[in-house]
Amino acid sequence: MNATKASAEKERVLITGAAGFLGSHLCDRFIAEGYHVIGMDNLITGRLKNIEHLFGNRAFEFYHHDVSKFVHVPGPLKYILHFASPASPIDYLKIPIQTLKVGSLGTHNLLGLAKAKGARILVASTSEVYGDPQVHPQTEDYWGHVNPIGPRGVYDEAKRFQEAMTMAYHTYHGLETRIVRIFNTYGPRMRLNDGRVLPAFIGQALRGEDLTVFGDGSQTRSFCYVDDLIEGIYRLLMSDYAQPVNVGNPSEITIGEFAEEIIKLTGTSQKVVYKPLPKDDPMQRQPDITRAREILGWEPKVDRSEGLQITYDYFKSLSPEELHEKEHNTFEGYVRK
């Protein structure tokens, strides 16, 4: 059997946001599991570099497309994973309307595609649906504390609408849907300049800059290594559970303590400088993963010190140009488009 025919007989998966941090790791996982992966991305925040190693693989194809517009994929689809969206404040504050559209119109388009194809769809929600939480740690039953007209509302409400639309398709159309609420995740292929705290700290350390902490550093986050997250997502997709599930690492740390961890990891001599806390920035973030443990048999395995070392080694391998990169994407040199 030739490679083309073998690939044609594989079950097919559509992954939106495929050139992004999480989307690219999902492409790798599903190809490793024996699926034919169709990656889709408009490259607003995704990078072709994240998936360039897949362009010669017959089990992968790439569509340069904005899912906020009508989505057509010829042929059968077994699964759809909707990960297209800006995912850091620096992005969704820069492109707020596109952020709202990909969570609303994009989700509607992909739910319609899933219905037409008879495919199971998993949508990527976020811990941001809990807003600045008044319940700690956050369980899936908590409805959240979100400012819909604040600067972060464009992302928070896009994801909350996404969940509502997904559940409506599940209850009204009987569509097989899954919702994952993702907490802070880190690992190789993050963008140094995406504004999130981990790449920001490591990027500053590598460039010899002081580490910037917003607020007094007492706010908390819980960091999950990307391989653990991908495993949780895969298990949720393959499960029979349609309600939202938190996937993240409950090991909580203050941002001030985290800055000190990064200084120790990188061996830099820079100091920590403090700036005002952005509006509506959550003071606490820690997942309750009881549901993931009980339903998926999942919990994170990678210790933060191990994951940080892998991530730091990845960032150290970047060229000086990449350390100071201005985002750009081009199809030049790529065979498939």
8 Å CB contact between 213 and 272: yes
Tell how many helices (H) and how many strands (E) occur in the chain.
11, 13
Give the residue among 239, 107, 102 at the shortest CA–CA distance from 176.
239
**155 belongs to the catalytic site:** yes
| 193/203 Cα distance (integer angstroms) | 8
What region does 187 belong to: left with phi over 0, alpha with psi -120 to 50, or beta?
left
Give me the catalytic one of 79, 130, 155, 186. 155
Q: Which H or E run contains 250?
A: none
Distances (CA, A) of 225 to 33, 192, 219: 20, 16, 20
Burial string for 215-249 (b: 16+ CB within 10 Å, else e) reads: eebebbbbbbbbbbbbbbbbbbbeeeebebbbbbb
8 Å CB contact between 22 and 16: no
Distances (CA, A) of 208 to 186, 259, 263, 322: 21, 14, 11, 15
Give the residue among 63, 72, 52, 74 at the shortest CA–CA distance from 8.
74
DSSP alpha helix (H) spans, the chain: 3-8, 21-32, 89-92, 96-117, 153-173, 197-206, 226-238, 255-266, 290-291, 304-316, 320-323
| 70/35 Cα distance (integer angstroms) | 24
Give the residue among 178, 153, 176, 182 at the shortest CA–CA distance from 163.
178
| 234/232 Cα distance (integer angstroms) | 5
Active-site annotation, residues: 155
